[in-house]
Amino acid sequence: MTDSVREALFVVGTDTGVGKTVLTAGVTGWLRRHGHDALAVKPCQTGYPPDDDAAVVAEACGTEAASTCLRRLEPALAPAVAADIADASLSYEAIESGVAEAVAGSETAVVEGIGGLRVPLADGREVLDLVADLGYPTLVVARSGLGTLNHTGLTVDALREHGVPVVGVVLNEYEGATTAARTNPDVLERMTDCPVWTLPPLDLADPTTAVDAVGDSLPDAALHGE
């Protein structure tokens, strides 16, 4: 392992609830265990409280310094919709510049997406616009079972069409209990020409298990940026 790390990594998902926070916590915690001052950045959290992805990352890493959230909104909706319902202002420019400033102020950062790529973010812009405008390499998190081929393929295609480098795909909660799950990794590698890794189901009552599992499941090059 070299001493250098990538400036930032963007963790994006094919949908909401697919495991972005698990992977973000795992990568951030792994980097910090290996001596890097890594920071997880959540551009916008909706459904707060009780949802608080930055707090999960902080607990997994054992310090509040490991994560930050730029904006929190109570309605559990897409950010642009949540802001409208809550009658709150939400600026795309402020979100983009806030992420860039957080990344610039850290040794390395892991930026966690919000839902899937086509989720409305602010000012007529979507999460995909933020990922493309920032230009950081991405890890795509997806479900493991039936239906993931279409969603994952479309997500990778959209990123590449916008010039975003894709590090690889992580199939979350992988057990291989069905034919679809067992065949999906190889099929997705052929479809996307990306490396595909699997992450097992985790008991996140102790969020540090995400750090152990990600370190065991993904190669150093994907985590470290070699």
Active site residues: 42
Does residue 125 sit in helix, strand or coil?
Answer: strand
Q: Are 148 and 14 in contact (CB under 8 A)?
A: yes
Q: How far apart are CA 38 and CA 77, in angstroms?
A: 28
Ramachandran class of 16: left when φ > 0, alpha when ψ lies in -120 to 50, beta otherwise? beta
Q: Are 211 and 29 in contact (CB under 8 A)?
A: yes
CA 206 from chain centre, in angstroms, equals 19
Cis peptide bond upstream of 49, omega within 30: yes
One-letter identity of residue 66: A
CB neighbours of residue 87 within 10 Å? 6
Q: How far apart are CA 65 and CA 37, in angstroms?
A: 9
